[in-house]
Amino acid sequence: MTMFIHLNGQLVPEDRAVVSVFDRGFLYGDGLFETLRVANGRPFRWAQHLERLQRGADFLKIKLPFAPAALREFAAELIAKNALPDSLLRLTLSRGVGPRGYSPKGAASPTLVMTLHPAPGAPASVVPGWKLVTSSLRLPAGDPLARFKTANKLAQVLARAEADAANADEALLLDTDGHVAEAATGNLFWIERGVVCTPPLTAGILPGVTRAVVFEISQKLGLPVRETHALPAQLRVAEGVVVSLSSLGVVAVAALDGMRLQASPEVEKLRLAYAALVAAECA
């Protein structure tokens, strides 16, 4: 089956969806992206993802080439055309083609691509507990670029390569102060004395959309949430550790650097609450 791509406002077959080799997204990672979970044909938390994309575009001074309403229509068209009501939707925005060199001057026609990919499973699917390894890479504490999903994710790419080499499912990244920051593909939470803890944004982490959802569902479950710095040793004695990400929701962490971690019943409550919220909002 031929997949269709939305490229600069046009639906095209994937074999005809081409971008210039002089596009700054390819040359310098000069752009942004967002990945959304689609359930029952509807993108989950579309408004929040688009708001972060807009903030990132404003920060990088890239003008979104289409209005928000048009982008929503493109997404619906892409989902219907590919007949993938349960999928992952990726929006990629680059500054487009410009003169050679780092200066963005003269790059005035941004590139916007939407792609669709099969979902890794239903939102309520149980994902086996992940094995994490601590990466040798460090994230700059307080990095302003960490607030957005920029098209340059080399630290995360190399961290995942280390995890792959260790036969682990995911990598744990620390910041330059030695504190726990995030996983390569998602935000990190741990349970400590019944409190849902997560690193503060000043640790150089992404303000994840799913991270915000975990805040919401924790409040509904009566679980207090605290943003706090932590050392890796604290994860090893936590009552439970999870990774939150748009593609899979809430995933339990079973081991860190070869050491088995505890499995708090609160982790399962968070996972089920997340799945229920996706089902309700995308009904």
Model-level pTM?
0.95
In angstroms, the CA 197 to CA 211 distance is 11
- Whether pLDDT at 278 is above 90: yes
Give the domain ranges of the chain: 4-118, 130-281
Tell me, what's the pLDDT at 73? 97
Separation CA 192–CA 11 (nearest Å)? 48
**Residues 22-31 pLDDT 10s:** 999 999 999 9
Looking at residue 40, what is its pLDDT?
96
Average pLDDT, the chain: 96
The DSSP secondary structure of the chain, one letter per residue, reads ---EEEETTEEEEGGG----TTBHHHHH--EEEEEEEEETTEETTHHHHHHHHHHHHHHHT---SS-HHHHHHHHHHHHHHHT-SSEEEEEEEE--B-SSSS--TT--S-EEEEEEEE-SS-TTPPPPPEEEEEEEEEEPTT-GGGGS-BS--HHHHHHHHHHHHTT-SEEEEEETTS-EEEETTBEEEEEETTEEEE--GGGT----HHHHHHHHHHHHTT--EEE----HHHHHTSSEEEEEETTTEEEEEEEETTEE----HHHHHHHHHHHHHHHHHT-
Q: What pLDDT shows up at residue 1? A: 80
In the chain, what percentage of residues exceed pLDDT 90? 95
What's the pLDDT tens digit per position in 48-60? Answer: 999 999 999 999 9
Q: What is the pLDDT of residue 124?
A: 65
Residue range 201-221: mean pLDDT, rounded: 96
pLDDT at 245 over 90: yes
User: Residue range 240-263: average pLDDT?
Assistant: 96
- pLDDT digit string, tens, across residues 75-132: 999 999 999 999 999 999 999 999 999 999 999 999 999 999 999 876 767 788 999 9
CATH 3.30.413.10 is right for the domain spanning 4-118:
no
Q: What is the tens place of the pLDDT at every residue in 155-208? A: 999 999 999 999 999 999 999 999 999 999 999 999 999 999 999 999 999 999
Architecture of domain 130-281: Alpha-Beta Barrel (3.20)
Confidence at residue 53, expressed as pLDDT on a 0 to 100 scale: 98
